[in-house]
Structure 1
């Protein structure tokens, strides 16, 4: 009995050690479980900004990229320096494209919406607008008030919905979703970030697009940032349901 007890303890210790090693490999991205889950039959896309500099859309498409979201604006006055060229190149290549806005906690939502609408213009035939809501600078240690952020984000979303007649999609990590999005905006299409674990662990099936990797490497861009974010469309959803003028934009 004593020997058996020692064996059980030893087995438990080995199992715990293996779990710690697995956790370390996942958290340091040496083991990227998500890449094993996403299959060639999935609809894969990328999101990019000026950090990728000049982008060859045809080269990306040739590597299986089926859609692109590109940064257009940030706050009430900033425009991504590569947006116009990326937008034109995507139009020329025929790859489905959408434009996203990086939401500032320091600017009125209506002014941010005006910046986006002025910069992007018509979205007919394009993917629905998206807004990126995440902590930046010191905002994690000095977070905005939930009700105040909800008001400004509501103003932003309402303005875009009035302009484009679709519900914008909200991109956010889990910490933002739980504190700011779920209590106020759970009816909006959700673009989740979960680069360590499968989307089902983060959100079940309540997502439209999943950013599953932020260390992707592809040919077709020459910026100082060598990595590119990889995304996948939830199975059962067609890109046409996320296209302005094709559907209600809900992706549901």
Structure 2
């Protein structure tokens, strides 16, 4: 090979190496974004719909309620005796997301809440564009999302809300496909545990992404997120809610719609 060609080849190789190094130090913008597993119940609802703090004394309630909280890895190890002392009597703990993420703090959070006397359950953050509903329901049950008839374990919850990892709020699914995905998750969870999952969502997301074509009212309790002084309009066809997530400050706060006996009855199945 002529000397001039060898010099050009050497320069080309060196330039490629420099560009490769720069790509490692400064990854392209498309590689950035929230890390997998960072989403939690209401995280995307708060971003899209707002989460203005409301004084608990100003909440408009129609009957008895039971206070609860929900947690994820963002809280780390939770001081459960503190929250029990604040009157919290139930908790939902994030167990899984998609088919590749498990909450590293799940054990302390799930078992710790029960140790202080709370009724507790696990929830799964859905990623309907990654795998089908059956795969994610099985992953959830296999990694802490099961249910037992001990009057202390709430049925698992399916968290379906805005897409945390993309611009398409509905994960690229048409309403009929979204309803089918949720149905498949619910059917699989029922087959594995004997219970239907609670569905966690917001009215705005649900009505947009299911197109108001599905009806889960006869099978699945609804846990609705709305950061305001009232629960407001419910997702399509539900006429009553089971749980209302009314605040995300200083932690996700919920109210069960009923008495403590009603909550235990939901747990007992």
| Structure 2 length-normalised TM | 0.69
Report the 3-state secondary structure (helix = DSSP H, G, I; strand = E; otherwise coil) of the residue aligned with 1:111.
Answer: helix
Answer yes or no: is 1:156 the counterpart of 2:188.
no
| Corresponding position of 1:212 | 246
Contact 2:119 2:264 in 1 (8 A): no
The CA deviation at 1:35 is 4.6
5 Å-filtered alignment, 1:1-252, equals: 29=52, 32=54, 35-37=57-59, 42-106=65-129, 107-120=131-144, 122-124=146-148, 125=150, 126-136=153-163, 137=165, 138-140=167-169, 143-179=172-208, 180=210, 182-187=212-217, 188-199=220-231, 201-203=232-234, 206-215=240-249, 217=250, 228-235=251-258, 238-243=262-267, 246-247=268-269
Contact 1:34 1:196 in 2 (8 A): no
The CA deviation at 1:90 is 2.1
Partner Cα distance (2:51, 2:121) in 1: 31
Unmatched 5+ stretches in structure 2: 1-49
Unmatched 5+ stretches in structure 1: 1-26, 218-227, 248-252
Partner Cα distance (1:152, 1:94) in 2: 35
Rg: which structure is higher?
Answer: 2
* Cα pair distance change 1:54/1:111, threshold 3 Å: same
Q: Deviations over 1:146-189 (max 9, x none)?
A: 12222222111111111221221101011222132852243221
Count residues with an aligned counterpart: 206
Report the 3-state secondary structure (helix = DSSP H, G, I; strand = E; otherwise coil) of the residue aligned with 2:196.
Answer: coil
Contact 1:194 1:211 in 2 (8 A): yes
Partner Cα distance (1:190, 1:84) in 2: 25
* Cα pair distance change 1:121/1:144, threshold 3 Å: closer
* Cα pair distance change 1:141/1:183, threshold 3 Å: closer
Partner Cα distance (1:60, 1:88) in 2: 14
RMSD between aligned residues: 2.5
Moved over 3 A (4+): none
Contact 1:46 1:230 in 2 (8 A): yes
Contact 1:99 1:120 in 2 (8 A): yes
Contact 1:57 1:95 in 2 (8 A): no
| Structure 1 length-normalised TM | 0.74
| Corresponding position of 2:10 | none
Partner Cα distance (1:169, 1:92) in 2: 23
